Structure 1
């Protein structure tokens, strides 16, 4: 089979398409014919060395496909089942083995592309809006990179819970996408200072929560945009890591809360994984969650997909298909 293999962390060029033997499902595992793979910033972090990963490895922590075989002791999953997974390695390949307890069923009405487009980012948007800061009707929240894959889903989920949503985006096209997803206001961060704009839009009150996956470039504005006792959910670092923060800044900003959540701690149990995945896929199947695929690439084009993602040349979700 074909697989992208990284022998040494570095730039996009370290991803090499290689012919390798099919994996064998061990006890408790399933073998999956992969049909679509999500491209995510965590893939970039692992490839580049921002996150430490043992080499060699095959990147890709989100994918969907059909079960080809099952290992010993597997129950509840059978050959032919449509499944998806997130936060497991090996997705950038024709076939992958995964623990049966970490795959989720893909329901009728959800395509493989939709499944691979929404599982990781959809569950991220879900835990952020339902758990990290559970949006309440009447809240105003700020979503950075509102036209990105996660941003578009965050906007939709926050709106569904009754929030007024302020987004940030750069180009007119991206701003239009954020508004189509439901954003009430969109700030062009290339032309406006975000925090003063938020203060103006909220009549100086600030927002209940900021969902910030950008990191270094947006952190200060995020902190300054909060209302007293608001929540800054820093869930990513697309622009780089945030330098160490003096806790006194949280007091000065209004006794606000800063959290650095990750999806791993919100799908740690099988029950929570299945619940979040079912909620997300249910929204997709019903048409209440719009999935925008911003780019489709062949497996051998993985390097170009990473380059486009990090250069912010894209909107929505990128897939290797």
Structure 2
């Protein structure tokens, strides 16, 4: 079958289309013919050998897929690699039947980024109605979903984004304010937009944004960390955390893969939110499988909006 296989770490050019053996059916797995493979920043970290879980080469990237079984059933789910391919195996514990009224493009946005947004907000940060939450990268796949989920939960949403196009999208999705994440006076802008310190902040950028967002948190505020896209992780200022009794929590979705309740709960909630129109996944484009390197280069520009995916059928 055709797949994107990495034989070395490096830039987008290491993502090459190759013929590899088809996966063999396995117990407790669904074998899918893939129709959508999600592209995520986690894949960029894998490609550069900076991912939280090291991989062994050669390696097929891709951690979320939508596809159809031989008997015609449609599933969306999570993999630990192997998604950028014409066929993929999904363990039944992290695979969910896609309702007929949910499209492939909607479903692929929910498996990794949708569930990450849901658990960041409601499991890790415990956002409640009436609180104010800062959402980074609000024009991206995860951020655009987090804006909508937080709004639906009754929170005030302060969106961060690096371009006016993304900030306009965040406002259209329901953010109460949208701020330039590259601003030197980011802390002051957050405080002004929120009318004071905020209760909750999600953060995936790294320095210098992390420190500026941390300074905008109220006493007893909660900070949920899920990445460092800038490539500059920070040593957290212990004194500042103590002075304001701030709670800092890390989040990585694979830690929930063995939980028999967490992901089914979030996936059910996400399907229902899409059905009733409370959440509208932002379609960021679909590229042929062989254009995986272009997809990664597009991510690097930070200009794209919404969910980017690959179509292995083309």
TM-score with structure 1 length normalisation? 0.92
Equivalent residue for 1:160?
Answer: 152
Partner of residue 287, structure 2: 297
Q: Secondary structure at the match of 2:101?
A: coil
Please show how residues 121-160 of structure 1 align to structure 2 within 5 Å.
121-160=113-152
Whether 1:101 and 2:126 are equivalent positions in the alignment is no
Q: CA deviation at 1:171?
A: 2.0
| Corresponding position of 1:6 | 6
Secondary structure, counterpart of 2:261 in structure 1: helix
Cα distance in 2, alignment partners of residues 145 and 109 from structure 1: 28
Q: CA deviation at 1:87?
A: 4.3
User: For residue 193 of structure 1, what is the aligned residue in structure 2?
Assistant: 185
Q: In structure 1, how many angstroms separate the alpha carbons of the residues matched to 2:182 and 2:30?
A: 47
Residue 53 (structure 1) aligned to one of 43, 48, 55: 55
Partners of 1:235 and 1:260 within 8 A in 2 = yes
SS in 2 for 1:270: coil
Q: Which runs of 5+ in 2 are unaligned?
A: none
Is 1:175 the equivalent of 2:204?
no
Q: CA offset at residue 110 of structure 1?
A: 0.6
Deviation at 1:267, TM superposition (A): 4.0
Of residues 268-277 and 310-319 in structure 1, the stretch that sits farther from structure 2 once superposed is 268-277
Normalised by the length of structure 2, the TM-score is: 0.94
Per-residue deviation, 1:32: 0.4
CA offset at residue 98 of structure 1?
2.5
Give the structure 1 partner of residue 259 of structure 2.
269
Tell me if the contact between 1:87 and 1:264 (Cα under 8 Å) persists in the aligned partners.
no
Structure 1 residue aligned with 2:65? 63
1:29 aligned partner: 29
Count of matched residue positions in the alignment of Structure 1 and Structure 2: 309
Shift of 1:29: 2.1
- 1:215: Cα distance to partner? 2.0
Q: Take 2:248 and 2:261, find their aligned partners in 1: how far apart are those partners?
A: 27
Contact 1:215 1:234 in 2 (8 A): no
Give me the whole-angstrom Cα distance separating, in 2, the residues matched to 1:233 and 1:131. Answer: 10
Q: What value does the CA root-mean-square deviation take over the aligned residues?
A: 1.5
Cα gap change, 1:267/1:161 in structure 2, threshold over 3 Å: closer, same or farther?
Answer: farther
Q: CA deviation at 1:304?
A: 0.9
Moved more, 278-287 or 42-51: 278-287
2:302 corresponds to 1:315: no
Show structure 1 runs of 5+ residues with no match: 69-78
**C-alpha distance in structure 2 between counterparts of 1:255 and 1:87, whole Å:** 37
